[in-house]
Structures are given as structure tokens and as C-alpha cells.
A = this chain, B = another copy of it.
Amino acid sequence: MSFDHRRYMDEKRLWVNAELETRLASSGTPPVELHDAMRYAILGGGKRLRAVICLACADAAGGAPGVAAGPALALELLHGYTLIHDDLPCMDDDDIRRGLPTVHVKYGQAAAVLAGDALQALAFEWAAAGAAPAPHTPTAIVTELAQAAGSLGVVGGQVMDLAAEQEQPSAEAVARIHRLKTAMLFRCAARMGAIAAGAGDEILAGLTQYGENVGLAFQIADDVLNASSTAQQIGKPAGSDAERSKTTAVAVYGLDGARQRADDLVSAAVDALVGLPGPVDPLHAIAHYITSRTH
């Protein structure tokens, strides 16, 4: 029997959701509105792709079960905080996400900034919970997350994305923004999983390639979905990227060209999965899922 892609993704997503639900400070913990805003932002759904990639890469690298739990969950906190801040009026000014009011609409701007800030701190607390084993330094996982999250990672990508709204989109600008804004965190997910499993250089290099290519494919898929779907399908206003002259893959390559690029990137991701001691079917499943979003 072939590997059940959908079932694998569903099971992992449910596990991530249950862990987040349990580990986040409970509703009613003072300051109450802060912890409510944090739970609202994180527990409101999502594909949990970054966490699943981290867990699956740890498995593929031969890690013991659960070895990447802390880093995997930390990725969802980190990603969730960036969404809160990206939605703020001074940034993308989005009122709706996943069909619900964004955090600043529901709790106010100050609470949204502070909930994001607290979630970033918590992400590092969770990432640090398991020290990395040899051949890595014990704090290698925290360093990975910090670099992906910082001014040469996610935050730098958001700055470039905002600045690019003023300009004619170029292929180079799209590649640069996609890499920093999205692919760095997918790359980090793969690397943290591998590092938590104690992977050596060769395995780490292969999974790094996987993570980066899957991340680039994911952002293109996101651009394609935004350009081609209805608001109901994606839970936020459709076509909003074009309206704002966002620097997207669709603006540069067209819909078909963008789909082709996503396919090529997924192929490159899968090609990097060689010589791994653990199961790779889940990593194929994730890549497959990402391509399916563009068609």
C-alpha cells in the first residue's frame, strides 16, 4: 500500500494543534488580554507546515521520536507572531485572516504589537528546551531560529516586501523577497529538525536544500492562490496582492509560468533527499501537498 499523504499531514497537524493548545498559557492567566490575544493568534488554524517539516526532517535524519518537538512548535509561534505584525495598519493593513478578524482588529494595535513580541520570546524559550546534540553546539538550534527570524531573514524580507510596493516587480526582487520572507523559515524548519536529530554535514546539507526549495515553492503557490482564487477559498481578500502592486511571482512570470516554477522547485527539493537514514515518504508528501495548492 502506498503512503497515505493526506492522513500523514492531518495527523501531524492535529498533534501540533493539541500541543500548542496545551502548552500556551491558559486563558485567564494575567495579563488576561495579552494571553487571550496570543492564543487567538496561534490557535486560529493554519496548515502547520513549518512544524510538520521540522518533525519530518528529524525523522528522515534518523532522530528519536519527539526529538524536534520544541523547535517544531517554536516555528509556529514565530510564524504566528510575524503574521500579527505584518497585518498591522502600518504594514499590510489587513483586517481579515483565515476568515477571522486580525489580532489588531480584535484586541487593538498595542495588544497586537505586544502579543507578537511575547510570542517571539516564547518561540526562543521553546526552541531552547532541547539542546542540540553533537556534532552541533548545544545552542545551534536557537542560533538557527534567530538568524531566520532576524534582519537577514523574515524581518528583512518584510522590509523589502514593503519597499518593493513602490517599484516595478523584477525577477530578482521576487527571488530575493521570497527567499528572505518565506524560504528562510522553511529552511530553518528543516535544519532545526536535522540538528535536533544530530545529523552530520551531508544530511544537513540535503535537508537544507529540501527546506529552502519547498519554501520558495510554497511562496509561489501562495502568490498563485492569491491571484486565482476567491476570497472564500483563501480566507482573505483575493487579488489583494495585485491591487497593492505586491512583488509576486505571478506579476513576473504569469500564472502558468509561476506554476511551472513551483513544480521545478518541488522537483529540486525531492532530488535533495538522498542518503537519509530515516523515512522520506513524509517529505515527499509535504512537497506533493505544496504543488497541489497551485493547480
Contact = CB atoms under 8 A, between A and B. Distances in A.
A163 B159 CA distance: 31
A56 to B, nearest CB: 24
Contacts of A151: 25, 31, 34-35, 38, 118, 121-122
Interface residues of A, number: 51
Interface string A12-42: 0000000000000100001101110010000
A52 to B, nearest CB: 23
A97 B146 CA distance: 28
A117 B38 contact: no
B110 A90 contact: yes
A156 interface: yes
Contacts of A118: 149-151, 155-156
Nearest to A81: B117
Given A110-B90, A113-B113, A34 B155 contact: yes
Interface string A119-149: 0111011011101000001110011011101
Given A34-B156, A121-B155, 5 more contacts: A31-B159, A114-B159, A121-B149, A122-B146, A124-B142
